[in-house]
Chain A
Amino acid sequence: MEFQTESIGDDIVVIRGDGRLNMVSGPALREAVKRSVEAGRARVVVDLSRIPFMDSSGLGALIAGLKTAREKGGDLRIVRPSTQVSMVLKLSNVDRILPAFDSTEEAYRD
């Protein structure tokens, strides 16, 4: 799976994928976040609306991205997770640090 990135404003990037987020596609997401943060866009939104399935490897990639963004003073926020992705976030207690937003605009309203 390839991840598309879209820049918004001075420091926001939206990263979108289409497919399953797992041990196969996780490394590509980590890399996409790293590239954006290194390019000065540390406020990261990962749009999950087209990710029907995520496993713990995919979740690990999201958390790695969150750490990468925070190290540069930014953050990583997720938008529109599917029912399965929400279930994995909740069972892992990661919903406490990665709350879901309804839209990109809402994710970085603050």
Chain B
Amino acid sequence: MSVEFDRKIHDTLADANLQLAIYTATGRLKEKRIEVTADNVLPDYQELRTQAHALKQHAIDNLDHYLEEFERNVEAYGGKVVYCKDATEVSDFVLDLAKRRGSKLIVKSKSMTTEEVDLNERLEHHGLESVETDLGEYILQLAHEKPYHIVAPALHKTRYDVADIFTKELHVARETVPEKLTLIARGVLREKFLKADIGISGANFLIADSGAVALIENEGNARLTTSAPKIHIAVAGIEKVIPRARDLAVFLKLLARSATGQLLSVYTSFLAGPRRVGEVDGPEEFYVVLLDNGRTKLLPDRSKRESLYCIRCGACLNACPVYRKIGGHSFPWVYSGPIGAIITPQFMGVSHEPALPFASSLCGACGEVCPVKIDIPKVLLELRSDVKKSEAREGQNRIEKLAFRIFAWVMTHPRVYELAGRMAASMAPAGDGKWIGSVPAPLSVGPLKAWLSERDLPPSPSKSFREMWRNR
């Protein structure tokens, strides 16, 4: 485990306010999801999950076909598709376009994909103003922080934190009522929307047969981002493509329910190309940036490929007992929770944070709530195996390997096993059902000490099962 991962986890666990905030927010989202997916509310919920999984599987298994179909249709409606392999290519494309059009101000709606490539920082580094417009994302941009949660990015901030941030960054009178804070943001951002030259959005779905992007949101900032400025750029990972418009009937019923417990989010925008003849408003130029950034690395392995089915609803975060304790910022990259634990090692390489696939109790809650039925626990196990293999290649886990070899030898030799059992029993205090509490000195050495520091052992029984069996 990296020092940083360890430190962030301990800091989060020690912060009582943060613990309460995470617990309350995820708990509420979790309850609401359960209400709207219940049998009497949505009887075909399980069937929808199966369909969603099948559609995603089909789309990813034939990804090149659907990307090309999507591209043809975007172009047929007068838009343009730009493939980018990494962060630099995305920012280069936006910077070049902004330069050619003389654009200075960019409004952005929430997009995890642009977080992934640090787009704001890159654009601002080159003198452009790039403003997040989702309330939570705007708060975090002003605070120079990354999202804490996929759908509730600022869940770790209290109203007082937001008041401090707004007073400091926007030089407004201090307000602590959420309605008033929201109004302040609305006022500032409304100006930006009306002046902006370019709007950058993400995309929840890319629809191959329509050349369209679908955007799902509650605030209206994504609608404004894609309607008011003359140029709309949607940035999406290549895995977001689905075959047909009608497939949305399946995904829309699952996404909002899983994310926020709504039947539908307030706004679902289906956008195909720039403004057409006869339409009164809408952008004059429409671009879709298709980002690889490591996604193609996940394709060769059939079961790990499933990680690309994710529709970013965040349900697995809310269900995860580990996320609910260690929070979003402990995770080493922008994606947190169970989905972050399987995506990050695959995008960045398993040695980026080798402890990540192990930061799970494998309770299976994530897989159970996943609306597209990604078998997250199974992928976690495979990644654990990858971590161990890579450590072995680098000769890192010799002691562990030796320990397991000894363990295997003991377990396959009954006499040795019995002897070892008797030795252990003589060292450990006997008790009647109580746990040991602290490990006796002889065992508390080297790597065993670290392993036992957060674990307990049951007391050793006065007679082993073998002895009892012999004496019966």
Interaction A to B: no
Q: Which residues of B contact A (CB under 8 A)?
A: none
